[in-house]
Amino acid sequence: MTMNGARNAGETLLEIRHLEKRFGGVKAVADVTMDLRAGIVTTLVGPNGAGKTTLFNLITGHLPRSGGSVRWLGRDIGGLKPYQIARLGIARTFQDLRLFSEMTVEENILTVMEPNALPFRLSGPPLKERRARAGHVLERTGLADKRAVRAMDLAYAERKFLSLARIMATDARLWLLDEPASGLDPHSYELFLALLREEVSAGVTVCIIEHNLDIVIGISDRIAFLDHGRLLADDDPKTVLEDPALAAIYFGDRS
Amino acid sequence: MEAYLLNLGVLISLYAILAVTLNFIMGYAGIYSLAHAVFFGTGAYAGASVALNFSASIFVMVPTAMLCAAALSLLLALPALRVRGEYFVAASLGLQVLAVTVFAEWKAVTGGIGGLIGIPPVDIAGFEIYSPGSFFILSLVTLAAVVAITRLLVRSSFGRSLKAIRDSESAALAFGKNIALIKTTSVVISAALAAIAGSLYAAYMSFINVESFMLDTSVLIMAMVIIGGTGTQLGPIVGAALLLILPGALSYLSFLPQTEIGSIQQILYGLGMAVLMIFRPGGIVGRGRAETGEGEA
Ligand SMILES: Nc1ncnc2c1ncn2[C@@H]1O[C@H](COP(=O)(O)OP(=O)(O)OP(=O)(O)O)[C@@H](O)[C@H]1O
Ligand SMILES: [Mg+2]
């Protein structure tokens, strides 16, 4: 199945209302209102500095918001700490990856399954199961023979896949992916798309920041267009991509 | 000579416990503490008080010492770890300065400047351990146990959480890690284990006073960790041995003016540390890594 088109949107997972973030005088995110619905792949596009990453940081609690609200399954999550929001089932990647660079590839995966704060296990699957799951994820992302390598010693594409593997190992329902495919060679890029498709059909809801229009067209059910912090469009891909005004902003800024 | 070596062996073992437990938070959680001598001292005073007033049994003395240090460390960690890591160094320095005053002034418990004297030897199931030989074995066994415990922790899910936080706090948060709680737990464990060394030290010396638990001791322990190799298993032990053997070894070099030995020692420490940090930033045992991980944005 493709990710485009014909699927029905499920319940609303995330409701963003009038969200705002000011850095000094600059409004990095200004009055953004949008929904992320279960099963839908939303692509967030917009020129550099449009506020895409900032929007993710507001959702995950990595930055405090200046105004507006974010609801997860109807519950206001604005006051929660990032680790609490993560535990609700919202996972993310970082534009600059932020791998656990001195840990091995396998440790990077194991540790995301181990949010315990105590030196002994209170809940969650035993180590053997975690290992098996990590092995499975590493197999799928092509990192199986790198499991004992430190993350910092990986090649560029491998790091991108480790970043993806980390969130594949969580049980999160919503994935926020910050430019996961940027700089990938064509082969890696195909593997990435295939993985994403599998995960989406397995029930994961994805919001992805992406600059490459081929990728945007290839995966989006919806496109949200951000510029100077404002949400200029949030619609089906065809409508957004064919809007000449948006194209002017997008390509104008990038030249 | 034998007595000298056994005494040195005991001190190396006890300081190695301190270095290993400091390394547990420095090397794996990225928490730099200048208050480790406070937990050493708390363990010593608590252990000594229990031994003097109640029981010299190791099974009473050591747990009491651990509990006291753990409670005190909570007072430091709870407020200090809510804010960013850098503040912990300052907060720990504050605690160190404060604790020295308390150790020196709280006469009822610490004996004031004069300290506590006549601390009985430690008792294990009816056997008093007071000969240097048997105490050396006890301190070695304790060191081995502490190394085993920290090793187990570092390799467990808890250790992975610590390392994840060290490598990227924001990513650790994004994967559900309660950073403040995890860091606090690591500081409490580190302090409690350091207190074991403290209580054994008190029983071994039979006399303690504030001079053993001042800022220079905290700095010395940190130097042991850094010189030996932060974040390595063996490094802190090597560092402890080196820094305790060096003063004695220097005094054997008869061409050095013996009256100036103290200053020569300081100069050598300073030079050695500077040279080491330039050529082997990972310490003696650590791998010499020029590259570092990607920084936090
Ligand atoms: N922590 C911060 N402090 C101050 N200003 C910030 C901060 N983070 C982002 N900004 C500013 O907010 C604006 C939006 O930045 P953001 O990183 O969200 O853009 P983006 O859409 O992700 O861009 P890119 O495509 O380059 O990643 C920019 O002007 C940026 O300089
Ligand atoms: Mg960005």
- The DSSP-derived string for B210-252 is GGGGSHHHHHHHHHHHHHH-TT-SSHHHHHHHHHHHHHHHHHH
DSSP string over B88-99: HHHHHHHHHHHH
Confidence of residue A8 (pLDDT cuts 50, 70, 90): low
CB B134 within 8 A of CB B224: no
What is the distance between the alpha carbons of residues B212 and A45, in angstroms, rounded to a whole number?
A: 62
Domain regions of chain B by residue span: 2-210
- Strand pairing partners for A224? A44, A234
Look at residue A216 in the predicted model and tell me its pLDDT: 86
Residue of B nearest to A176 (CA): B174
Mean pLDDT of B17-24: 97
Q: What is the pLDDT of residue A134?
A: 96
Mutation to test the B interface, candidates A112, A133, A150, A156, most B Cβ within 10 Å: A112
Distance CA B173, CA B166 (A): 12
> Nearest CB to A83: which of B156, B173, B296?
B173
Pocket test for ligand 1, best of A48, A53, A211 (most atoms within 8 A of CB): A53
pLDDT band at residue B210 using 50, 70 and 90 as cut-offs = very high
pLDDT attached to residue B110: 92
Of B156, B176, B294, the CB nearest to A119: B156
Nearest CA to ligand 1 atom 2: A23
| Mean pLDDT over the full length of chain A | 91
The mean pLDDT value for B2-16 works out to: 94
Is 50 exceeded by the pLDDT of residue B294? no
pTM of the model: 0.88
Would you place residue B270 in the very low, low, confident or very high pLDDT band (cuts 50, 70, 90)?
Answer: confident
Round the CA-based radius of gyration of chain A to a whole number and report it.
18
CATH 3.40.50.300 fits A90-172, yes or no: yes
Residue from the list B164, B176, B294 with its beta carbon closest to the beta carbon of A87: B176
Q: Say what the pLDDT of residue B1 is.
A: 73
Which chain B residues are closer than 8 Å to A91 by Cβ? Answer: 174-175
pLDDT digits (tens, 9 = 90+) for A67-110: 999 999 999 998 899 999 999 999 999 999 999 999 999 999 99
Q: Which chain A residues are closer than 8 Å to B156 by Cβ?
A: 119
Furthest CA-CA distance within chain B = 61
3 state DSSP class of A36: strand
- Ligand 1 pocket check for A46: Cβ under 6 Å: yes
Tokens of A62: 């990595």
**Coil/strand/helix, residue A15:** strand
- Looking at residue B83, its pLDDT comes to 66
- The rounded distance, in Å, linking the Cα atoms of B29 and B177 is 13
pLDDT reading at B289 higher than 80: no
Res. A1: pLDDT tops 80: no
**Lookup: tokens for B78:** 């709870």
pLDDT of B290 over the 50 cut: no
The pLDDT of residue B273 is 78
Query: How far, in Å, CA of B30 to CA of B81, rounded?
Result: 12
Distance of CA B194 to the CA centre of its chain: 5
Q: How far is A177 from chain B (nearest CA, A)?
A: 12
The ligand whose atoms approach the alpha carbon of A226 most closely is 1
Nearest to B176 among A62, A115, A152 (CB): A115
Looking at residue B234, its pLDDT comes to: 92
The pLDDT score that the predictor gives to residue B85 is 65
Judged by average pLDDT, the poorest of A60-64, A106-110, B200-204, B287-291 is B287-291
Mutate to test the pocket of ligand 1, among A19, A21, A23 (most ligand atoms within 8 A of CB): A23
Instruction: Say what percent of chain B tops pLDDT 90.
Output: 65
Beta bridge partners of A22: A27
Which one has a higher pLDDT value, A137 or A186? A137
Residue B39 has pLDDT above 90, yes or no: yes
What mean pLDDT is predicted for residues B145-168?
A: 94
pLDDT at B261: 75
Determine which of A60-69, B81-90, B130-139 has the lowest per-residue pLDDT on average: B81-90
Split at pLDDT 50, 70, 90, the class of A248 is confident
pLDDT (average), residues B75-95: 81
DSSP conformational letter for B127: E
Q: What is the pLDDT of residue A9?
A: 64
For residue A2, pLDDT over 60 is answered with: no
Contact B166 A102 (CB under 8 A): yes
Supply the pLDDT for residue B84: 66
B173 contacts A62? CB cut-off 8 A: yes
Cα A29 to middle of ligand 1, angstroms: 9
pLDDT at res. A250: 79
Q: Do domains A1-87+206-255 and A90-172 have the same CATH topology?
A: yes
Sheet with strand A67-72: strands edge to edge: A26-37, A12-23, A67-72, A75-76
ipTM of the prediction greater than 0.85, yes or no:
yes
Q: Which two tokens stand for residue A197?
A: 């498709």
> Residue range A168-178: average pLDDT?
96
Residues of B with CB under 8 A from a CB of A: 153, 156-158, 160-161, 163-164, 166-168, 170-179, 181-182, 185, 189, 291, 293-294, 296-297
pLDDT category of residue A213 using cuts at 50, 70 and 90: confident
pLDDT at A6 over 70: no
Q: Indicate the pLDDT class of residue A254, thresholds 50, 70 and 90.
A: very low
- pLDDT > 70 in chain B, percent: 94
Distance (Å) of CA B132 to CA A117, B8, B10, B89: 41, 10, 8, 36
Cα B197 off chain centre by: 8
A1-87+206-255: in CATH 2.40.50.100: no
pLDDT at res. B93? 93
Instruction: Give the integer Cα–Cα distance in Å for A38 and B191.
Output: 47
Distance, in Å, from the CA atom of B47 to the CA atom of A77, rounded to the nearest integer, reads 48
Q: What average pLDDT does range B19-25 have in this prediction?
A: 96
Number of Cβ pairs closer than 8 Å across A and B?
105
Chain B partners within 8 Å of A166 (Cβ): 175
Query: How high is the pLDDT of residue A121?
Result: 72
C-alpha B73/C-alpha B38 separation (Å) is 9
Q: What is the mean pLDDT of residues A10-31?
A: 94
Residue A21 near residue A32, CB atoms below 8 Å: no
Per-domain residue ranges of chain A: 1-87+206-255, 90-172
d(Cα B153, Cα B189) in Å, to the nearest integer?
10
Coil vs helix vs strand at A68 = strand
Average pLDDT over residues B119-139: 90
The lowest-confidence range among A18-27, A234-243, B18-27, B149-158 is A234-243
Phi, psi of B110, rounded to the nearest 5 degrees: -100, -5
**Cβ pair A142, A194 in contact under 8 A:** no
